[in-house]
Structure 1
């Protein structure tokens, strides 16, 4: 875990060998439902799916807006980081469902916040590693400061 390797991607996404890119949902095969009026893809519809942002221009989107139809999109700079143990535990438990040592290790570090991640979390480039521990060790250090869901404390 170094500053040079500090890249973040969507949870569970496939990464390139150097870790700086992630597989795009289009997988290089751009095939979205187009706007019936201008053929713009679904990303250009508003949240209510009532107005297409591209119709004013009459544009046709020929490539994926996320990756340019390469199948790969850039990761965000920095590691996902949560400022409190409770926030980290909640974030991981929502994605994994429980914390056991084979889920991975917890790395506590100091660093510089440089961006916001895909899930709204701070993205941080580390400047100093404080501690690396297994989940069981991390949870043992923070039992009274947080409410650990029953599935996590087992």
Structure 2
């Protein structure tokens, strides 16, 4: 009986760990970027979109709102730049879409900046403003946010 109980617990643990690490297989699109309120210059707000095998960059450079998705004016970027970040949409944690809130942490509250993420999946559109300070963000998001920051750096 102990062996059966141990086996069941082991299987449940394995399944729950796999669910925690699950990522989206094929989102329709991903909008990602970062923003800083008290900042000067073009790099204060960087918003990009990956969709249909192409990369776009927003030219509006507006501070995102927590009340509605970001209103962008996307322009097509080069295939070389797309190649640098093409895997990012497939790294979005599925748990992110289960969040019941749009604002995670206190993005840019202490002039630390924030991340803007928007994900389209099967016609559903979800957007998020996420704190850059990791201690204000659920741990499951840390690896993905690291990838977002690295992707933005590759595109500069």
- Shorter-chain TM range is under 0.3
- TM-score using structure 2 length: 0.23
Q: Which has the higher helix share?
A: 2
Give the structure with higher Rg (CA). Answer: 1
- TM-score using structure 1 length: 0.23
